[in-house]
Amino acid sequence: MTNMEKLRSRLQEIARIGSLLNIALWDQEVNMPPKAADSRALALAEASGLLHQKFVSIDSDGLLSGLKAELDAGALSGGDAVVVRETWRSFEREKKLPERLVKEIALTASQAYEVWAEARKKDDFDMFLPWLRKMVKLKREEAEYVGYADSPYDALLDAYEPGMTSKEVTKVLSDLKGFLVPFIRKIKASKSKVDDRRLKGKFPIEAQESFNRLVAKEIGFDFAAGRLDKATHPFATGINPSDVRLTTRYLVEDVFYSIGSTVHEAGHGLYEQGLPGEHFGTPLAESVSLGIHESQSRMWENMIGKSEPFWRHFYPKLRKAFPKPFREIPLKDFCRMISKARPSLIRTESDEVTYNLHIILRYEIEKGMIEGTIDPADTPRIWKEKMKEYLGVDVPNDREGVLQDVHWAHGGIGYFPTYSLGNLYAAQFYRAMKKDVKGIERKMSQGDFMPVLTWLRKNIHSLGKTYRAGELVERVTGKPLDSRYFIEYLEEKYGRIYGL
Protein backbone atom coordinates (compact mmCIF):
# COMPACT_ATOMS: atom_id res chain seq x y z
CA MET A 1 0.00 0.00 0.00
CA THR A 2 1.21 3.48 -0.81
CA ASN A 3 0.99 6.14 1.86
CA MET A 4 -2.00 7.68 0.05
CA GLU A 5 -3.78 4.32 0.07
CA LYS A 6 -3.01 3.95 3.77
CA LEU A 7 -4.44 7.36 4.49
CA ARG A 8 -7.59 6.68 2.50
CA SER A 9 -8.05 3.38 4.24
CA ARG A 10 -7.73 4.95 7.71
CA LEU A 11 -10.16 7.69 6.76
CA GLN A 12 -12.64 5.10 5.51
CA GLU A 13 -12.45 3.13 8.74
CA ILE A 14 -13.25 6.27 10.70
CA ALA A 15 -16.05 7.22 8.32
CA ARG A 16 -17.64 3.78 8.64
CA ILE A 17 -17.76 4.09 12.41
CA GLY A 18 -18.99 7.64 11.92
CA SER A 19 -21.83 6.39 9.72
CA LEU A 20 -23.15 4.37 12.69
CA LEU A 21 -23.12 7.55 14.73
CA ASN A 22 -25.14 9.27 12.02
CA ILE A 23 -27.68 6.46 11.96
CA ALA A 24 -28.06 6.81 15.73
CA LEU A 25 -28.50 10.58 15.41
CA TRP A 26 -31.18 10.11 12.76
CA ASP A 27 -32.83 7.42 14.87
CA GLN A 28 -32.83 9.76 17.87
CA GLU A 29 -35.11 12.18 16.01
CA VAL A 30 -37.24 9.67 14.13
CA ASN A 31 -37.60 6.47 16.18
CA MET A 32 -36.13 6.62 19.63
CA PRO A 33 -38.50 5.81 22.52
CA PRO A 34 -38.58 8.65 25.08
CA LYS A 35 -37.03 6.78 28.00
CA ALA A 36 -33.91 6.09 25.92
CA ALA A 37 -32.88 9.77 25.81
CA ASP A 38 -30.24 9.60 28.55
CA SER A 39 -28.60 6.37 27.45
CA ARG A 40 -28.56 7.58 23.85
CA ALA A 41 -26.90 10.83 24.92
CA LEU A 42 -24.16 8.86 26.68
CA ALA A 43 -23.68 6.54 23.69
CA LEU A 44 -23.41 9.44 21.25
CA ALA A 45 -20.94 11.23 23.49
CA GLU A 46 -18.86 8.08 23.81
CA ALA A 47 -18.81 7.59 20.06
CA SER A 48 -17.93 11.24 19.43
CA GLY A 49 -14.98 10.90 21.76
CA LEU A 50 -13.89 7.68 20.12
CA LEU A 51 -14.07 9.15 16.64
CA HIS A 52 -12.12 12.17 17.74
CA GLN A 53 -9.48 9.91 19.27
CA LYS A 54 -9.29 7.73 16.17
CA PHE A 55 -9.03 10.78 13.95
CA VAL A 56 -6.25 12.50 15.87
CA SER A 57 -4.30 9.24 16.07
CA ILE A 58 -4.31 9.10 12.26
CA ASP A 59 -0.89 10.73 12.42
CA SER A 60 0.51 8.69 15.32
CA ASP A 61 3.11 7.18 12.98
CA GLY A 62 3.63 10.39 11.02
CA LEU A 63 1.66 9.21 7.98
CA LEU A 64 -0.31 12.41 7.57
CA SER A 65 2.60 14.75 8.39
CA GLY A 66 4.67 12.96 5.79
CA LEU A 67 2.01 13.42 3.15
CA LYS A 68 1.57 17.03 4.17
CA ALA A 69 5.28 17.57 3.56
CA GLU A 70 4.88 16.02 0.11
CA LEU A 71 1.92 18.32 -0.54
CA ASP A 72 3.90 21.38 0.51
CA ALA A 73 6.75 20.28 -1.74
CA GLY A 74 4.33 20.18 -4.66
CA ALA A 75 4.62 16.41 -5.01
CA LEU A 76 0.87 15.73 -4.83
CA SER A 77 -1.80 16.69 -7.30
CA GLY A 78 -5.43 16.09 -8.20
CA GLY A 79 -7.56 14.18 -5.71
CA ASP A 80 -4.55 13.22 -3.60
CA ALA A 81 -3.72 16.85 -3.00
CA VAL A 82 -7.31 17.59 -1.98
CA VAL A 83 -7.46 14.63 0.40
CA VAL A 84 -4.23 15.61 2.15
CA ARG A 85 -4.98 19.35 2.22
CA GLU A 86 -8.45 18.93 3.72
CA THR A 87 -7.57 16.09 6.06
CA TRP A 88 -4.69 18.16 7.38
CA ARG A 89 -7.03 21.08 7.91
CA SER A 90 -9.46 19.01 10.01
CA PHE A 91 -6.60 17.28 11.78
CA GLU A 92 -5.04 20.56 12.80
CA ARG A 93 -8.33 21.65 14.30
CA GLU A 94 -9.21 18.36 15.98
CA LYS A 95 -5.83 17.65 17.51
CA LYS A 96 -6.03 20.91 19.44
CA LEU A 97 -9.20 19.76 21.18
CA PRO A 98 -8.88 17.49 24.21
CA GLU A 99 -11.06 14.39 24.01
CA ARG A 100 -12.57 15.39 27.35
CA LEU A 101 -13.96 18.59 25.79
CA VAL A 102 -15.28 16.80 22.70
CA LYS A 103 -17.19 14.31 24.85
CA GLU A 104 -18.43 16.99 27.20
CA ILE A 105 -19.79 19.09 24.34
CA ALA A 106 -21.51 16.04 22.83
CA LEU A 107 -23.03 15.01 26.15
CA THR A 108 -24.07 18.56 27.05
CA ALA A 109 -25.64 18.92 23.60
CA SER A 110 -27.87 15.88 24.10
CA GLN A 111 -28.84 16.90 27.61
CA ALA A 112 -29.36 20.55 26.75
CA TYR A 113 -31.54 19.44 23.85
CA GLU A 114 -33.91 17.66 26.23
CA VAL A 115 -34.06 20.66 28.56
CA TRP A 116 -34.53 23.06 25.67
CA ALA A 117 -37.44 21.01 24.26
CA GLU A 118 -39.12 21.09 27.68
CA ALA A 119 -38.33 24.78 28.27
CA ARG A 120 -39.70 25.71 24.88
CA LYS A 121 -42.90 23.79 25.53
CA LYS A 122 -43.30 25.56 28.87
CA ASP A 123 -42.08 28.93 27.59
CA ASP A 124 -39.57 28.94 30.44
CA PHE A 125 -36.30 30.57 29.44
CA ASP A 126 -34.90 30.42 32.98
CA MET A 127 -35.06 26.66 32.82
CA PHE A 128 -32.84 26.70 29.74
CA LEU A 129 -30.50 29.52 30.86
CA PRO A 130 -27.97 27.40 32.86
CA TRP A 131 -27.59 25.08 29.86
CA LEU A 132 -27.13 27.98 27.47
CA ARG A 133 -24.48 29.38 29.80
CA LYS A 134 -22.76 26.01 29.96
CA MET A 135 -22.79 25.58 26.20
CA VAL A 136 -21.48 29.10 25.58
CA LYS A 137 -18.71 28.46 28.10
CA LEU A 138 -17.78 25.16 26.41
CA LYS A 139 -17.79 26.70 22.95
CA ARG A 140 -15.63 29.60 24.13
CA GLU A 141 -13.27 27.00 25.52
CA GLU A 142 -13.31 25.25 22.13
CA ALA A 143 -12.50 28.55 20.42
CA GLU A 144 -9.55 29.13 22.75
CA TYR A 145 -8.16 25.67 22.01
CA VAL A 146 -8.59 26.11 18.26
CA GLY A 147 -7.19 29.63 18.24
CA TYR A 148 -8.18 32.67 16.13
CA ALA A 149 -6.80 35.95 14.84
CA ASP A 150 -9.67 38.39 15.27
CA SER A 151 -12.63 37.01 17.19
CA PRO A 152 -13.20 33.70 19.04
CA TYR A 153 -16.33 33.44 16.91
CA ASP A 154 -14.11 32.87 13.85
CA ALA A 155 -12.82 29.64 15.39
CA LEU A 156 -16.39 28.32 15.63
CA LEU A 157 -17.57 29.61 12.25
CA ASP A 158 -14.61 27.91 10.63
CA ALA A 159 -15.97 24.49 11.62
CA TYR A 160 -19.05 25.07 9.47
CA GLU A 161 -17.77 27.39 6.76
CA PRO A 162 -14.07 26.61 6.35
CA GLY A 163 -11.96 29.64 5.59
CA MET A 164 -14.72 32.17 6.20
CA THR A 165 -14.23 34.88 8.85
CA SER A 166 -16.79 36.85 10.82
CA LYS A 167 -15.41 40.00 9.21
CA GLU A 168 -16.47 38.75 5.78
CA VAL A 169 -19.82 37.51 7.12
CA THR A 170 -20.49 40.83 8.81
CA LYS A 171 -19.79 42.58 5.53
CA VAL A 172 -22.19 40.57 3.34
CA LEU A 173 -24.88 40.44 6.02
CA SER A 174 -24.64 44.20 6.62
CA ASP A 175 -25.09 44.83 2.91
CA LEU A 176 -28.09 42.54 3.02
CA LYS A 177 -29.57 44.17 6.11
CA GLY A 178 -29.09 47.57 4.51
CA PHE A 179 -31.21 46.42 1.60
CA LEU A 180 -33.78 44.29 3.45
CA VAL A 181 -35.02 46.62 6.17
CA PRO A 182 -36.25 49.32 3.75
CA PHE A 183 -37.33 46.71 1.15
CA ILE A 184 -39.64 45.05 3.66
CA ARG A 185 -41.10 48.45 4.57
CA LYS A 186 -41.80 49.03 0.89
CA ILE A 187 -43.56 45.67 0.58
CA LYS A 188 -45.64 46.47 3.66
CA ALA A 189 -46.59 49.82 2.23
CA SER A 190 -47.44 48.44 -1.21
CA LYS A 191 -51.03 48.63 -2.38
CA SER A 192 -50.64 45.24 -3.98
CA LYS A 193 -51.59 42.68 -1.32
CA VAL A 194 -51.27 38.92 -1.36
CA ASP A 195 -54.08 37.09 0.36
CA ASP A 196 -53.06 33.49 0.99
CA ARG A 197 -55.89 32.45 3.29
CA ARG A 198 -57.42 30.32 0.54
CA LEU A 199 -54.36 28.01 0.66
CA LYS A 200 -55.64 26.61 3.92
CA GLY A 201 -57.85 23.54 3.92
CA LYS A 202 -58.05 20.03 5.24
CA PHE A 203 -55.37 17.79 3.76
CA PRO A 204 -55.18 14.21 5.07
CA ILE A 205 -51.61 13.45 6.16
CA GLU A 206 -51.39 10.24 4.11
CA ALA A 207 -52.29 12.04 0.91
CA GLN A 208 -49.73 14.71 1.77
CA GLU A 209 -47.11 12.03 2.29
CA SER A 210 -47.75 10.57 -1.15
CA PHE A 211 -47.56 13.96 -2.76
CA ASN A 212 -44.31 14.85 -0.99
CA ARG A 213 -42.80 11.55 -2.01
CA LEU A 214 -43.83 12.15 -5.60
CA VAL A 215 -42.24 15.59 -5.69
CA ALA A 216 -38.98 14.38 -4.13
CA LYS A 217 -38.82 11.51 -6.59
CA GLU A 218 -39.56 13.61 -9.65
CA ILE A 219 -36.90 16.19 -8.88
CA GLY A 220 -34.40 13.32 -8.75
CA PHE A 221 -34.20 11.99 -5.18
CA ASP A 222 -33.40 8.27 -5.35
CA PHE A 223 -35.59 6.35 -2.89
CA ALA A 224 -33.56 3.17 -3.42
CA ALA A 225 -30.73 5.10 -1.79
CA GLY A 226 -32.79 7.09 0.70
CA ARG A 227 -35.92 7.63 2.75
CA LEU A 228 -38.43 10.29 3.72
CA ASP A 229 -39.82 10.22 7.27
CA LYS A 230 -41.58 12.47 9.73
CA ALA A 231 -39.75 14.49 12.39
CA THR A 232 -40.59 17.45 14.58
CA HIS A 233 -37.73 19.47 13.10
CA PRO A 234 -37.08 18.56 9.47
CA PHE A 235 -33.51 17.69 8.54
CA ALA A 236 -31.50 15.66 6.05
CA THR A 237 -28.78 13.16 6.92
CA GLY A 238 -26.25 11.70 4.52
CA ILE A 239 -25.10 8.44 6.07
CA ASN A 240 -23.31 7.86 2.81
CA PRO A 241 -24.27 8.57 -0.82
CA SER A 242 -26.33 5.37 -0.97
CA ASP A 243 -28.22 6.06 2.27
CA VAL A 244 -29.58 9.57 2.49
CA ARG A 245 -32.52 10.35 4.75
CA LEU A 246 -34.90 13.27 4.61
CA THR A 247 -37.49 14.23 7.17
CA THR A 248 -40.40 16.59 6.91
CA ARG A 249 -43.38 17.63 9.01
CA TYR A 250 -47.07 17.86 8.39
CA LEU A 251 -49.94 20.16 9.24
CA VAL A 252 -53.41 18.95 8.31
CA GLU A 253 -54.55 22.47 7.42
CA ASP A 254 -51.54 23.48 5.30
CA VAL A 255 -50.21 21.19 2.59
CA PHE A 256 -47.52 23.64 1.52
CA TYR A 257 -45.99 23.49 5.01
CA SER A 258 -44.76 19.96 4.30
CA ILE A 259 -43.99 20.48 0.60
CA GLY A 260 -41.73 23.44 1.30
CA SER A 261 -39.74 21.54 3.87
CA THR A 262 -39.57 18.37 1.75
CA VAL A 263 -38.21 20.25 -1.25
CA HIS A 264 -35.72 22.01 1.01
CA GLU A 265 -34.48 18.77 2.56
CA ALA A 266 -34.49 17.04 -0.83
CA GLY A 267 -32.13 19.79 -1.99
CA HIS A 268 -29.73 18.74 0.76
CA GLY A 269 -30.39 15.09 -0.04
CA LEU A 270 -29.61 15.46 -3.74
CA TYR A 271 -26.26 16.97 -2.81
CA GLU A 272 -25.51 14.02 -0.51
CA GLN A 273 -26.59 11.46 -3.10
CA GLY A 274 -24.46 13.24 -5.68
CA LEU A 275 -21.22 13.01 -3.71
CA PRO A 276 -18.92 10.41 -5.28
CA GLY A 277 -19.50 7.22 -3.25
CA GLU A 278 -16.22 5.67 -4.39
CA HIS A 279 -14.41 8.31 -2.34
CA PHE A 280 -16.58 7.80 0.76
CA GLY A 281 -14.68 8.69 3.90
CA THR A 282 -12.36 11.17 2.22
CA PRO A 283 -12.86 14.92 1.68
CA LEU A 284 -13.57 14.13 -2.00
CA ALA A 285 -16.94 12.78 -0.89
CA GLU A 286 -17.70 15.55 1.58
CA SER A 287 -19.72 18.68 1.05
CA VAL A 288 -17.79 21.94 0.72
CA SER A 289 -19.35 23.71 3.68
CA LEU A 290 -22.70 24.20 5.37
CA GLY A 291 -23.21 27.36 3.36
CA ILE A 292 -22.79 25.49 0.07
CA HIS A 293 -25.05 22.74 1.42
CA GLU A 294 -27.68 25.31 2.25
CA SER A 295 -27.35 26.81 -1.24
CA GLN A 296 -28.65 23.50 -2.57
CA SER A 297 -31.64 23.32 -0.25
CA ARG A 298 -32.57 26.96 -0.64
CA MET A 299 -32.25 26.89 -4.42
CA TRP A 300 -34.62 23.95 -4.66
CA GLU A 301 -36.95 25.26 -1.98
CA ASN A 302 -37.25 28.84 -3.11
CA MET A 303 -35.77 29.66 -6.49
CA ILE A 304 -37.13 26.49 -8.05
CA GLY A 305 -39.80 25.19 -5.63
CA LYS A 306 -41.72 28.45 -5.46
CA SER A 307 -41.36 29.27 -9.15
CA GLU A 308 -44.01 29.18 -11.85
CA PRO A 309 -42.12 26.68 -14.09
CA PHE A 310 -41.94 24.20 -11.21
CA TRP A 311 -45.63 24.50 -10.45
CA ARG A 312 -46.68 24.47 -14.08
CA HIS A 313 -45.64 20.82 -13.89
CA PHE A 314 -46.75 19.95 -10.35
CA TYR A 315 -49.90 22.05 -10.00
CA PRO A 316 -52.15 19.68 -12.03
CA LYS A 317 -50.98 16.86 -9.76
CA LEU A 318 -51.62 18.91 -6.65
CA ARG A 319 -55.08 19.78 -7.92
CA LYS A 320 -55.78 16.15 -8.56
CA ALA A 321 -54.67 15.13 -5.07
CA PHE A 322 -56.45 18.05 -3.39
CA PRO A 323 -59.20 19.39 -5.65
CA LYS A 324 -60.35 21.54 -2.77
CA PRO A 325 -59.17 24.33 -2.66
CA PHE A 326 -56.78 24.22 -5.59
CA ARG A 327 -59.30 23.74 -8.38
CA GLU A 328 -60.57 27.22 -7.51
CA ILE A 329 -57.15 28.88 -7.42
CA PRO A 330 -55.45 29.78 -10.73
CA LEU A 331 -51.78 28.76 -11.03
CA LYS A 332 -50.52 32.34 -11.03
CA ASP A 333 -52.38 33.20 -7.87
CA PHE A 334 -51.09 30.03 -6.22
CA CYS A 335 -47.51 30.99 -7.03
CA ARG A 336 -48.01 34.47 -5.59
CA MET A 337 -49.57 33.04 -2.45
CA ILE A 338 -46.76 30.62 -1.68
CA SER A 339 -44.25 33.46 -2.11
CA LYS A 340 -46.01 35.96 0.08
CA ALA A 341 -43.60 38.13 2.11
CA ARG A 342 -44.70 38.91 5.63
CA PRO A 343 -42.66 39.63 8.76
CA SER A 344 -43.33 36.86 11.28
CA LEU A 345 -42.07 35.34 14.50
CA ILE A 346 -40.69 31.97 13.44
CA ARG A 347 -37.59 31.62 11.27
CA THR A 348 -38.44 28.23 9.79
CA GLU A 349 -41.83 29.47 8.64
CA SER A 350 -40.61 32.78 7.29
CA ASP A 351 -40.47 33.74 3.64
CA GLU A 352 -37.43 34.32 1.44
CA VAL A 353 -37.37 38.06 2.04
CA THR A 354 -37.65 38.26 5.80
CA TYR A 355 -35.71 35.02 6.47
CA ASN A 356 -32.29 36.61 6.43
CA LEU A 357 -33.17 39.17 9.07
CA HIS A 358 -33.96 36.26 11.42
CA ILE A 359 -30.47 34.98 10.71
CA ILE A 360 -28.76 38.34 11.08
CA LEU A 361 -30.38 38.78 14.49
CA ARG A 362 -29.16 35.32 15.65
CA TYR A 363 -25.71 35.96 14.22
CA GLU A 364 -25.36 39.22 16.11
CA ILE A 365 -26.53 37.66 19.38
CA GLU A 366 -24.43 34.50 19.25
CA LYS A 367 -21.35 36.41 18.17
CA GLY A 368 -21.92 38.71 21.16
CA MET A 369 -22.23 35.76 23.53
CA ILE A 370 -19.02 34.21 22.28
CA GLU A 371 -17.14 37.50 22.34
CA GLY A 372 -18.43 38.11 25.86
CA THR A 373 -20.33 41.31 25.07
CA ILE A 374 -23.78 39.72 25.52
CA ASP A 375 -24.74 37.83 28.64
CA PRO A 376 -26.91 34.76 27.92
CA ALA A 377 -29.42 36.06 30.48
CA ASP A 378 -30.03 39.13 28.30
CA THR A 379 -30.79 37.24 25.10
CA PRO A 380 -34.61 37.25 25.47
CA ARG A 381 -34.66 41.03 25.77
CA ILE A 382 -32.18 41.63 22.95
CA TRP A 383 -34.11 39.20 20.75
CA LYS A 384 -37.31 41.18 21.25
CA GLU A 385 -35.62 44.52 20.59
CA LYS A 386 -34.03 43.36 17.35
CA MET A 387 -37.22 41.68 16.10
CA LYS A 388 -38.96 44.99 16.55
CA GLU A 389 -36.17 46.98 14.93
CA TYR A 390 -35.52 44.72 11.91
CA LEU A 391 -38.95 43.26 11.20
CA GLY A 392 -41.37 45.45 13.12
CA VAL A 393 -42.58 42.39 14.96
CA ASP A 394 -43.61 42.21 18.63
CA VAL A 395 -42.42 38.97 20.24
CA PRO A 396 -45.10 37.90 22.74
CA ASN A 397 -43.10 35.18 24.53
CA ASP A 398 -39.78 33.32 24.54
CA ARG A 399 -41.25 30.17 23.07
CA GLU A 400 -41.75 32.06 19.82
CA GLY A 401 -38.66 34.12 20.53
CA VAL A 402 -35.26 33.14 21.78
CA LEU A 403 -36.31 29.53 22.52
CA GLN A 404 -37.55 28.73 19.02
CA ASP A 405 -34.37 27.20 17.56
CA VAL A 406 -32.46 24.13 18.67
CA HIS A 407 -29.01 25.29 17.50
CA TRP A 408 -27.66 26.78 20.70
CA ALA A 409 -28.83 23.79 22.74
CA HIS A 410 -27.12 21.49 20.27
CA GLY A 411 -23.87 23.45 20.42
CA GLY A 412 -24.26 24.73 16.87
CA ILE A 413 -22.91 28.22 17.57
CA GLY A 414 -21.40 29.60 14.36
CA TYR A 415 -23.93 27.67 12.31
CA PHE A 416 -26.63 30.31 11.72
CA PRO A 417 -24.76 32.57 9.28
CA THR A 418 -24.33 29.61 6.92
CA TYR A 419 -28.09 29.78 6.28
CA SER A 420 -27.81 33.28 4.87
CA LEU A 421 -24.61 32.46 3.03
CA GLY A 422 -26.61 29.62 1.48
CA ASN A 423 -29.17 32.07 0.14
CA LEU A 424 -26.45 34.22 -1.36
CA TYR A 425 -24.60 31.30 -2.93
CA ALA A 426 -27.91 29.91 -4.23
CA ALA A 427 -28.84 33.08 -6.05
CA GLN A 428 -25.40 33.35 -7.59
CA PHE A 429 -25.37 29.69 -8.69
CA TYR A 430 -28.92 29.83 -10.01
CA ARG A 431 -28.11 32.81 -12.14
CA ALA A 432 -25.06 30.99 -13.59
CA MET A 433 -27.09 27.85 -14.22
CA LYS A 434 -29.81 29.71 -16.12
CA LYS A 435 -27.11 31.29 -18.25
CA ASP A 436 -25.33 27.96 -18.85
CA VAL A 437 -28.36 25.85 -19.68
CA LYS A 438 -30.71 27.35 -22.21
CA GLY A 439 -34.40 26.69 -21.71
CA ILE A 440 -33.96 25.21 -18.26
CA GLU A 441 -37.19 26.75 -16.94
CA ARG A 442 -39.14 25.44 -19.92
CA LYS A 443 -37.77 21.96 -19.21
CA MET A 444 -38.87 22.22 -15.59
CA SER A 445 -42.35 23.26 -16.60
CA GLN A 446 -42.45 20.02 -18.64
CA GLY A 447 -41.47 18.01 -15.55
CA ASP A 448 -37.87 17.52 -16.63
CA PHE A 449 -35.62 18.36 -13.70
CA MET A 450 -32.63 16.45 -15.01
CA PRO A 451 -30.93 19.48 -16.58
CA VAL A 452 -30.92 21.20 -13.18
CA LEU A 453 -29.62 18.13 -11.38
CA THR A 454 -27.03 17.42 -14.05
CA TRP A 455 -25.69 20.95 -13.79
CA LEU A 456 -25.53 20.77 -10.00
CA ARG A 457 -23.92 17.33 -10.09
CA LYS A 458 -21.26 18.45 -12.54
CA ASN A 459 -20.47 21.84 -11.05
CA ILE A 460 -20.94 21.18 -7.34
CA HIS A 461 -21.96 17.71 -6.04
CA SER A 462 -19.40 15.51 -7.75
CA LEU A 463 -16.48 17.72 -6.69
CA GLY A 464 -16.71 17.08 -2.97
CA LYS A 465 -14.29 19.35 -1.13
CA THR A 466 -12.06 19.90 -4.17
CA TYR A 467 -12.56 23.66 -3.86
CA ARG A 468 -13.26 25.85 -0.85
CA ALA A 469 -16.57 27.69 -0.91
CA GLY A 470 -15.19 31.03 -2.09
CA GLU A 471 -13.11 29.39 -4.81
CA LEU A 472 -16.02 27.24 -5.98
CA VAL A 473 -18.31 30.25 -6.29
CA GLU A 474 -15.76 32.08 -8.38
CA ARG A 475 -15.07 29.09 -10.62
CA VAL A 476 -18.72 28.36 -11.23
CA THR A 477 -20.09 31.89 -11.49
CA GLY A 478 -17.03 33.85 -12.58
CA LYS A 479 -17.44 36.25 -9.62
CA PRO A 480 -16.61 36.21 -5.92
CA LEU A 481 -19.44 35.91 -3.41
CA ASP A 482 -21.56 39.03 -3.52
CA SER A 483 -24.93 39.72 -1.93
CA ARG A 484 -26.05 41.72 -4.97
CA TYR A 485 -27.20 38.62 -6.91
CA PHE A 486 -29.54 37.64 -4.16
CA ILE A 487 -30.70 41.23 -3.82
CA GLU A 488 -31.35 41.39 -7.57
CA TYR A 489 -33.28 38.14 -7.36
CA LEU A 490 -35.50 39.51 -4.60
CA GLU A 491 -35.97 42.85 -6.33
CA GLU A 492 -37.06 41.16 -9.54
CA LYS A 493 -39.36 38.55 -7.97
CA TYR A 494 -40.91 40.69 -5.26
CA GLY A 495 -40.96 43.77 -7.41
CA ARG A 496 -43.20 41.75 -9.71
CA ILE A 497 -45.42 40.34 -6.95
CA TYR A 498 -45.87 43.63 -5.09
CA GLY A 499 -45.61 45.98 -8.07
CA LEU A 500 -42.70 47.91 -6.56
Q: Hey, which residues are catalytic here?
A: 265
Map residue 306 onto helix, strand or coil.
coil
Nearer to a second copy, 190 or 242 (CB): 242
Residue 116 Cβ vs a second copy, minimum distance, rounded to whole Å: 20
Long-range pairs for 277-280 at CB < 8 Å and ≥24 separation? Answer: 277/240, 277/241, 277/242, 279/79, 279/464, 280/12, 280/15, 280/240, 280/241
Using CB atoms within 10 Å of the CB of residue 149, give its burial: 0 to 12 exposed, 13 to 18 middle, 19+ buried: exposed
> Does residue 427 belong to the site contacting a second copy (CB under 8 A)?
no
> Does residue 239 belong to the site contacting a second copy (CB under 8 A)?
yes
Identify the residue among 123, 168, 196, 243 touching a second copy (CB under 8 A). Answer: 243
Residue 222 Cβ vs a second copy, minimum distance, rounded to whole Å: 7
Q: DSSP letter for 197, please.
A: G
> Does residue 210 belong to the site contacting a second copy (CB under 8 A)?
no
Phi, psi (rounded to 5 degrees) for 329: -110, 120
Nearer to a second copy, 230 or 319 (CB): 230
Residues, the chain? 500
Instruction: List residues bridging with 243 in a β-sheet.
Output: 240
Q: Do you find a cis peptide bond into 325, omega within 30 degrees of 0?
A: yes
CA separation for the pair 102, 98 (Å, rounded): 7
> Does residue 34 belong to the site contacting a second copy (CB under 8 A)?
yes
> Does residue 53 belong to the site contacting a second copy (CB under 8 A)?
no
Query: Which candidate, 11, 2, 14, places its Cα nearest to that of 67?
Result: 2
Residue 409 Cβ vs a second copy, minimum distance, rounded to whole Å: 22
Nearer to a second copy, 44 or 231 (CB): 44
Are 298 and 264 in contact, with CB atoms under 8 Å apart?
A: yes
Nearer to a second copy, 238 or 260 (CB): 238
Are 344 and 334 in contact, with CB atoms under 8 Å apart?
A: no
Nearer to a second copy, 244 or 288 (CB): 244
Identify the residue among 3, 4, 6, 23 touching a second copy (CB under 8 A). Answer: 23
Nearer to a second copy, 62 or 277 (CB): 277
Which residues, other chains included, contact 425 with Cβ-Cβ below 8 Å and sequence gap of 6+? 291, 292, 294, 295, 469, 473, 481
Query: Which candidate, 103, 3, 112, 93, places its Cα nearest to that of 44?
Result: 103
> Does residue 27 belong to the site contacting a second copy (CB under 8 A)?
yes
Identify the residue among 130, 178, 204, 277 touching a second copy (CB under 8 A). Answer: 277
Site string for a second copy, 216-235 (x = CB under 8 A): ------xxxxxx--------
Identify the residue among 2, 35, 193, 394 touching a second copy (CB under 8 A). Answer: 35
Nearer to a second copy, 33 or 74 (CB): 33
Strands lying side by side in the sheet with 226-230: 226-230, 243-248, 236-240
Instruction: List residues bridging with 238 in a β-sheet.
Output: 244
Residue 255 Cβ vs a second copy, minimum distance, rounded to whole Å: 23
Query: Which candidate, 286, 284, 212, places its Cα nearest to that of 246?
Result: 212
Under rule CB under 8 A, how many of the chain's residues touch a second copy?
36
Residue 20 Cβ vs a second copy, minimum distance, rounded to whole Å: 5
Identify the residue among 7, 21, 56, 370 touching a second copy (CB under 8 A). Answer: 21
Stretch touching a second copy by CB under 8 A, among 41-49, 63-71, 316-324, 343-351: 41-49
> Does residue 280 belong to the site contacting a second copy (CB under 8 A)?
yes
Identify the residue among 3, 4, 6, 40 touching a second copy (CB under 8 A). Answer: 40
Identify the residue among 242, 344, 348, 459 touching a second copy (CB under 8 A). Answer: 242
CA separation for the pair 393, 239 (Å, rounded): 39
CA separation for the pair 295, 168 (Å, rounded): 18
> Does residue 99 belong to the site contacting a second copy (CB under 8 A)?
no
Identify the residue among 4, 24, 117, 331 touching a second copy (CB under 8 A). Answer: 24
Residue 466 Cβ vs a second copy, minimum distance, rounded to whole Å: 22
Q: Where are the alpha helices (DSSP H) in 299-378?
A: 308-321, 323-326, 331-338, 355-371
Residue 35 Cβ vs a second copy, minimum distance, rounded to whole Å: 4
Residues 56-90 as b/e (b if ≥16 CB within 10 A, e otherwise) read bebbeeeebeebbebbeeeebeebbbbbbbbbbbb
Nearer to a second copy, 226 or 401 (CB): 226
Are 52 and 99 in contact, with CB atoms under 8 Å apart?
A: yes
Nearer to a second copy, 47 or 304 (CB): 47
Residue 102 Cβ vs a second copy, minimum distance, rounded to whole Å: 14
> Does residue 107 belong to the site contacting a second copy (CB under 8 A)?
no
Stretch touching a second copy by CB under 8 A, among 15-23, 142-150, 264-272, 456-464: 15-23
Instruction: List the Cα angle 376/373/92 in 5-degree steps.
Output: 90
Nearer to a second copy, 31 or 192 (CB): 31
Interaction site with a second copy (CB under 8 A): 13, 16-17, 19-21, 23-24, 27, 31-36, 38-40, 42-44, 46-47, 50, 222-227, 239-240, 242-243, 277, 280
